Amino acid sequence: MPAPSERRRRSQRGLTLVELIVAFTILITLSAMALPMARYKVRREKERDLRNALKEIRTAIDKYKDMAEQQQLGQIKLGTEGYPETLEALVEGVKVPGPQDKKIRFLRRLPRDPFTGNTDWGKRSAQDDPKSMSWGGQNVFDVYSKTMERAADGTPYSEWE
């Protein structure tokens, strides 16, 4: 016959059903709290990436415009008002007039829009309305995200400065 302490150990080997239910309830509660926090963090990272991408492109457009106004890029094409004709011109570069075949590039590559996942940005020309969602095609004065999503405060990402 086994000793009383040995019988007690055999009966205490596993968890009871109540203990398992409590443990699973705690795990489910913690998971339910962690998921919105993870989504919030991902959204914040996308917003940060969007701000950085917009700033990078807009800075390149401004540098192009400054150099064009200083006549460093040659003759300003009629209708462009010194702005690049396309975003690709900022990446491909512009030949500088002179004895050497020198090109000035304003961007290494077009940044990706973190919300759409591609490099297809909405464009506005200097002649377009500031809130316009269609591009006139004369030049690239500004860019915006083509996503229809909105920030936490309700503003569309397409209106971000």
52 CB-near residues (< 8 Å, 6+ apart): 111
Provide the residue range defining the domain that includes 67.
50-147
Asked if residue 159 belongs to a domain, the reply is no
Q: Are 62 and 56 in contact (CB under 8 A)?
A: no
What is the total count of domains within the chain? 1
Residue 95, in any domain of the structure: yes
- Domain contains 31: no
pLDDT on residue 137 = 84
Residue burial 113-130, b: 16+ Cβ < 10 Å; e: rest? bbbbeeeebbbbbbebee
pTM recorded for the entire structure: 0.77
The answer as to whether 62 is a domain residue is: yes
Q: Is residue 138 part of a domain?
A: yes
Q: Is 22 contained in some domain?
A: no
d(CA 130, CA 144): 11
For residue 153, being part of any structural domain is answered with no
pLDDT digits (tens, 9 = 90+) for 3-57: 666 655 555 667 788 888 999 999 998 888 888 888 889 999 999 999 999 999 9
User: For all residues of the chain together, what is the average pLDDT?
Assistant: 87
Question: Does some domain include residue 118?
Answer: yes
